[in-house]
């Protein structure tokens, strides 16, 4: 007599084994109709799963976040079935879910095109309309191998042969079509109503370039058509905001095969980069940081001491000199910072020591992983390492979190999710140390009254960390800032300070902190956040002064020079073009203010001002223009949040 405990704590007793569907039907016909899967004792199962003993049960419908992954996985099967019906002889390999969707890799003699995707999608809709029952079959290993070998599915045979000997082999069948899969899946194809195929790409069997080349079809799937439409609209908006396209359009940067994964900054892009640097320098100096700079190339021995040579070597650029010494371009700034701390005797009076560095780091990323500013091989981190006593640790964490959140507000990011990653299974250090480190982070967040999400076991091997996730203007999440507490590197490098009792061997705690993360990536995020229309304080060109005819050129230059003298990034456009043409071009270039001068302005000593998006501010004195711009610059990103 199984006793089933439901999420609200209520219990139901049954005379004999029951399926998840039976339990749902016993609760109500509406729930039975909506049920997609179940969670039995924490494990996701099909609604046909038989419950034989006492258990806890949650029934998943399309309102549950966990059900979306099941919908997407089932839609990958729907895709594979449609492809094999339309293109006989195609072999299926794997079809996992990914963020916002799924893909399936195929071995086919046919080269799939975007036109093919339309036809495949239509066939998927037809199979969904047939509402085929999805059945789970458990098979002996030998029989499963025979089934897929007879079907000509050689990749599936290889997958089965590579599975552990004691693993259960399950096959999912919908209509006459079958696939090897752990599941779970929706109960019938009719539950799949909101999907879209998005693109075709190349792939390799098991991700190895030495293996057979495959074709990958990507798609997205959602619980309903409303969610699908919202997602497609978001993707269309993201394409408009693509930082690579806007980077070219606004003449900010470019990439070249002469230096794959490295940015060639143009004058306007570099002006934006420098503005971020100067902004962060000002904030850090006000918060008691000192700025340092460490070498880009350091001896292998340093990376052996830090542990990077053993754990990160494949991502490092290294070289060997004639005297057989091995050097590496730094992938992280931490060891250089520790070397700075170790130089000279430190006292407890020197702590906390907040040491910041805009360090250039180099990491080998596979060519296929490079993505504009978001994923590069050479980038700048706004790193800082704080050395403090045990007693200072929690307050320093509070200071860092306050600084991070306040800086994000200056860029218009008010919606920030804080993630706490705790001790992993494989770690160094005693439980007592981990309790202390995790307690510093949770204590800081608790004191500040901030909510956070815990990710058990996802901390670094040497310490727990906080991650700060921003939500942009179109609802996308970006993980940027980090704060990690560490007692490992001080131990490995044997650094110490003299405490108030004269003990010369006291270990400092080391906090690793980054706010932007990678400046290159953060600029990419900002370009897409603002769609290239930066707030005035960040804009590479804050104002452009344009003349109506050549006789106004000298006055236009005079106005621009006064703006420049006030610290504004101002230019002139003195081309012999019609004024309407010049204004339209500058508006397309997303220049915040266009300042127009002609006969009237020369006579009055004033200027005509147009703000971005065509807003006409009319005539202003030069003093009024300077006051307007200075006031807006001082408000920074907070003006966007108001």
Say which of 72, 191, 241, 512 is annotated catalytic. 512
- Rounded CA-CA distance 485/464 in Å is 6
Q: Is 381 a catalytic residue?
A: yes
> Cβ distance 384 to 284 under 8 Å?
yes
Say which of 383, 472, 486, 573 is annotated catalytic. 383
- Rounded CA-CA distance 394/345 in Å is 24
Q: Is the dihedral of CA 619, 620, 625, 628 positive or negative?
A: negative
- Rounded CA-CA distance 210/25 in Å is 51
Say which of 215, 381, 392, 484 is annotated catalytic. 381
- Rounded CA-CA distance 169/349 in Å is 64
Say which of 330, 423, 465, 521 is annotated catalytic. 465
Please list, in sequence order, all residues whose beta carbon lies within 8 angstroms of the beta carbon of residue 492, skipping any fewer than 6 positions away.
Answer: 305, 306, 307
- Rounded CA-CA distance 53/234 in Å is 46
Say which of 334, 388, 397, 480 is annotated catalytic. 334
For residue 266, give both structure tokens.
Answer: 């143009």
Residue 87, number of CB atoms within 10 A of its CB: 16
| 360: β partners | 380
Q: Is 512 a catalytic residue?
A: yes
- Rounded CA-CA distance 622/398 in Å is 44
Q: Is 613 a catalytic residue?
A: no
Q: Give kind and range of the element (H or E) at residue 624.
A: helix 622-635
- Rounded CA-CA distance 554/569 in Å is 19
> Cβ distance 522 to 405 under 8 Å?
no
Say which of 385, 506, 513, 552 is annotated catalytic. 385
Q: Tokens 């094999």 correspond to what residue?
A: 84
Say which of 156, 363, 521, 636 is annotated catalytic. 363
Q: Tokens 């127009």 correspond to what residue?
A: 596
For residue 538, give both structure tokens.
Answer: 């960040």
For 173-211, give the secondary structure using H, E and C. EECCEEEECCCCCCCEHHHCCEEEEEEEEEEEHHHCCCC
Q: How far is CA 412 from CA 212, 528, 609, in A?
A: 47, 13, 25
Q: Is 334 a catalytic residue?
A: yes
Please list, in sequence order, all residues whose beta carbon lies within 8 angstroms of the beta carbon of residue 267, skipping any fewer than 6 positions away.
Answer: 540
Q: Tokens 């905001």 correspond to what residue?
A: 241
Strands 55-60 and 3-5: parallel
- DSSP code string of 33-68: HH--EEEETTEEE-TTPEE-SSEEEEEE-TTSHHHH
Q: Which residues are catalytic?
A: 334, 363, 381, 383, 385, 465, 512
């Amino acid at each position: 007599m199984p006793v089933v405990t439901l999420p609200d704590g209520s219990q139901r007793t049954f005379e004999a084994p029951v399926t998840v569907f039976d339990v749902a039907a016993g609760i109500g016909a509406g729930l039975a109709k909506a049920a997609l899967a179940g969670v039995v004792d924490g494990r996701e199962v099909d609604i046909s799963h038989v419950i034989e003993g006492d258990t806890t049960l949650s029934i998943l419908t399309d309102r549950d976040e966990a059900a979306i992954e099941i919908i997407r996985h089932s839609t990958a099967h729907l895709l594979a079935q449609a492809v094999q019906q339309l293109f006989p002889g195609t072999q299926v390999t794997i079809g996992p879910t990914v963020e916002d969707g799924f893909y399936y890799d195929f071995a086919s003699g046919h080269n799939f095109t975007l036109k093919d995707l339309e036809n495949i999608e239509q066939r998927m809709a037809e199979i969904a309309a047939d509402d085929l029952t999805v059945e789970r079959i458990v098979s002996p290993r030998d029989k499963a191998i025979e089934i897929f070998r007879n079907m000509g599915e050689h990749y599936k045979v290889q997958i089965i042969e590579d599975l552990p000997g004691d693993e259960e082999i399950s096959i999912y069948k919908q209509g006459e079509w079958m696939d090897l899969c752990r599941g779970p899946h929706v109960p019938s194809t009719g539950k799949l109503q909101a999907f879209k195929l998005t693109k075709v790409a190349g792939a390799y069997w098991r991700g190895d370039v030495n293996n057979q080349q495959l074709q990958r079809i990507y798609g997205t799937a959602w619980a309903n058509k409303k969610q699908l439409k919202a997602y497609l609209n978001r993707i269309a908006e993201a394409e408009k905001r693509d930082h690579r396209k806007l980077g070219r359009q606004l003449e900010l940067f470019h990439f070249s095969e002469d230096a794959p994964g490295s940015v060639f900054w143009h004058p306007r892009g570099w002006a934006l980069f420098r503005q971020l640097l100067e902004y962060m320098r000002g904030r850090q100096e006000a918060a008691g940081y000192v700025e340092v700079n460490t070498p880009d190339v350091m001896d292998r021995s340093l990376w052996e001491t830090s542990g990077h040579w053993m754990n990160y070597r494949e991502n490092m650029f290294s070289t060997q000199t004639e005297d057989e010494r091995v050097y590496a371009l730094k992938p992280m700034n931490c060891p250089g910072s520790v070397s700075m701390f170790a130089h000279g005797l430190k006292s407890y009076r020197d702590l906390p020591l907040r040491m910041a560095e805009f360090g250039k780091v180099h990491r080998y990323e596979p060519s296929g992983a490079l993505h504009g500013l978001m994923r590069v091989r050479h980038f700048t981190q706004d790193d800082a390492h704080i050395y403090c006593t045990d007693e200072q640790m929690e307050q320093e964490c509070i200071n860092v979190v306050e600084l991070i959140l306040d800086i994000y507000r200056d860029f218009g990011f008010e919606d920030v999710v804080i993630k706490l990653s705790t001790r992993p299974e494989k770690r160094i250090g005693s439980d007592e140390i981990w309790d202390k480190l995790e307690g510093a982070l949770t204590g800081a967040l608790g004191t500040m009254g901030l909510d956070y999400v815990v990710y058990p076991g996802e901390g670094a091997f040497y310490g727990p960390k906080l991650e700060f996730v921003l939500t942009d203007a179109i609802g996308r999440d970006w993980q940027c800032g980090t704060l990690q507490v560490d007692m490992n590197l001080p131990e490995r490098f044997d650094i110490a300070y003299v405490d108030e009792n004269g003990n010369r061997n006291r270990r400092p705690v080391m906090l690793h902190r980054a706010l932007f993360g990678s400046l290159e990536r953060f600029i990419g995020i900002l370009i897409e956040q603002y769609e290239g229309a930066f707030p005035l304080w960040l804009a590479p060109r804050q104002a452009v002064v344009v003349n109506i005819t050549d006789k106004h050129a000298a006055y236009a230059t005079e106005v621009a020079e006064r703006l420049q003298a006030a610290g504004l990034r101002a230019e002139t456009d003195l081309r012999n073009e019609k004024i309407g043409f010049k204004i339209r071009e500058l508006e397309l270039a997303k220049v915040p203010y266009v300042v127009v001068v002609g006969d009237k302005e020369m006579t009055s000593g004033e200027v005509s001002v147009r703000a971005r998006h065509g807003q006409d501010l009319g005539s202003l004195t030069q003093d009024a223009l300077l006051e307007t711009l200075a006031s807006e610059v001082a408000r920074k990103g907070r003006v966007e949040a108001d």
